[in-house]
Amino acid sequence: MVQMAKKAKENVLQIKLVRSLIGCKKDQIATANSLGLRKVGDVVSQPVNAATQGKVAKIVHLVEVTEA
């Protein structure tokens, strides 16, 4: 059971919004909102998968990503 918890934790990204969404394209704002990022400084945990990686790639200039 402990191994399962460790494995699940390894497959998570911590995503922090470090730049404002003001002046961004509507699709970039929508992408940030879909990740749960609303204000500068917001931090969310998302699973490592193709969908999350695609969203991060779209707004990479606005976020800071670390593995949790």
Query: pTM of the entire structure?
Result: 0.84
Structure confidence at residue 2 (pLDDT): 54
Q: Among all chains, which residue has been given the structure tokens 């003001």?
A: 22
3-state secondary structure of 14: strand
Structure confidence at residue 25 (pLDDT): 97
Sorted by where each starts, the structural domains of the chain and their CATH numbers stand as 8-67 (3.30.1390.20)
Structure confidence at residue 10 (pLDDT): 73
Structure confidence at residue 3 (pLDDT): 59
Structure confidence at residue 68 (pLDDT): 83
Torsion angle defined by CA atoms of residues 65, 44, 40 and 23, in that order, rounded to the nearest 10 degrees: 80
Torsion angle defined by CA atoms of residues 34, 36, 41 and 45, in that order, rounded to the nearest 10 degrees: -110
pLDDT by 10-residue block (mean), the chain, 68 residues: 58 96 97 97 96 97 95
Structure confidence at residue 22 (pLDDT): 97
